[in-house]
Structure formats: structure tokens, C-alpha cells
Chains A and B, each alone.
Chain A
Amino acid sequence: EDKVVQSPLSLVVHEGDTVTLNCSYEVTNFRSLLWYKQEKKAPTFLFMLTSSGIEKKSGRLSSILDKKELSSILNITATQTGDSAIYLCAVFRQGGSEKLVFGKGTKLTVNP
């Protein structure tokens, strides 16, 4: 059975801290791994990772995929209160039923 596991499930930090969120997966026919940020309602897209070892960056956020370890990390440096959200990891499996398999998410709270 396809599985995506995120850790930690919940994290509380102070503004300015750096955080690392983890995502590991066991998915047949892996194609890509995606990160989403969900504040109150609709998840918004952050990154899509297909190749191992290539870092994707957007401002203070960065992410990298390790296909050997079947995992990815999402780093947020100099956190701000606006980074408080649930961060969702999803893996796209190809062939047969092509779909995204989601992890349970990491709830990040950044306190001032």
C-alpha cells in the first residue's frame, strides 16, 4: 500500500528559528514529490521535485529530494509568524490510477 509519512506532525518555534520538515514515502511508480502550504483553506503549491539532489528555492523556503532514501526535506529559514500553517507532502504515482498520495501534514506554529 502506498504510504507518505511526514514528521514531525506538529512543531512550535519562535520567530527567526530555522525549521526542517521531513517527508518519507513508499509509493510504487514514483514520479514526483510535491509540497503544499495550507493556511486556512486551500493548499497552495510550493515545490515539485522530480530529480534527486537538486535543491529548489523560493525565498526563505527550500526543498530537496533524496530518491535513494525515499525522502524529502523542506527547510524554512528565519521563520515568520506568517509561516504558521500545515505543510503537506504528496507523491505523484504514475501508471494505473495516477494520483497524488498525501501525508498527514506537519502543523507549524511560529510564535512572535
Chain B
Amino acid sequence: DGGITQSPKYLFRKEGQNVTLSCEQNLNHDAMYWYRQDPGQGLRLIYYSQIVNDFQKGDIAEGYSVSREKKESFPLTVTSAQKNPTAFYLCASSIASGRASSYEQYFGPGTRLTVT
């Protein structure tokens, strides 16, 4: 079954701790994305990667870091510098950019992070 997996579904952390959210895809997609969703807000782009070993900041990258060492994996670290980390985090992927079919992004089930 092809798709995107995110783990865990729910994550609880104490303030001041870094936490890493997992995102894996077996769709053979080149591009991967991380979004944050808060109640009443749309999806806001944190980071994205169009190719292995390369990534770009999105609109709200402060307090987050990513890596893209493998095509299938794009983990997101929420650092202690992120002021309001409690949110729903969605990972997505799409085929190589530059083609019309790359506009459609496929989403994982999300991770709900609560920091107290």
C-alpha cells in the first residue's frame, strides 16, 4: 500500500525539550513538505524539500529544523526555540516539481503535538 506515514499520532512533551516528528513515504515522490495547522487556521508551510539533501524554509520556519538524507524520509524537529509548538503537524509529498501533476500533494495522517 503506497502512502505517507507519520508517527506518532499523539505526542506530549515538556517545555524546553526538542522533539522529532517522523514522516515516511513510499510513493517515490521527490518533494516533501511540513505544515502546521492551528484551530481556525489553514495550513502554514514550515519547510519543504524538492530533492534529497536540499530543503528550503517555508513561511514559519523559526524554531524548526529538518533533514532530507533519504528520498523516503523528511523528519521535522521542533526545537525549544519554537514559542508555541502545540499544534497539529501534517507532512505531505508530491512528485517532482515543474510538472502539472506535482501540484497535487498527498498528506499523511498528522501528528498532534502537545507541549506543557
Write the residues of chain A forming the contact surface with B, with a CB cutoff of 8 angstroms. Answer: 4, 6, 9, 31-32, 34, 36, 41-45, 48, 50, 88, 90, 92, 97-100, 102-105
Contact = CB atoms under 8 A, between A and B. Distances in A.
A51 B97 CA distance: 19
A99 B58 contact: yes
B97 A98 contact: yes
A108 to B, nearest CB: 14
Contacts, number: 54
In the complex, which range does the number of interface residues on chain B fall in? 20 to 34
Contact of B109 (A9, A42, A102): A42
B100 A104 contact: no
A10 to B, nearest CB: 9
11 contacts: A34-B103, A41-B110, A42-B107, A42-B108, A42-B109, A43-B90, A43-B107, A48-B103, A92-B103, A99-B58, A102-B44
Interface stretch (B11-19, B35-43, B62-70, B72-80): B35-43
Contacts of A92: 103
B42 A42 contact: no
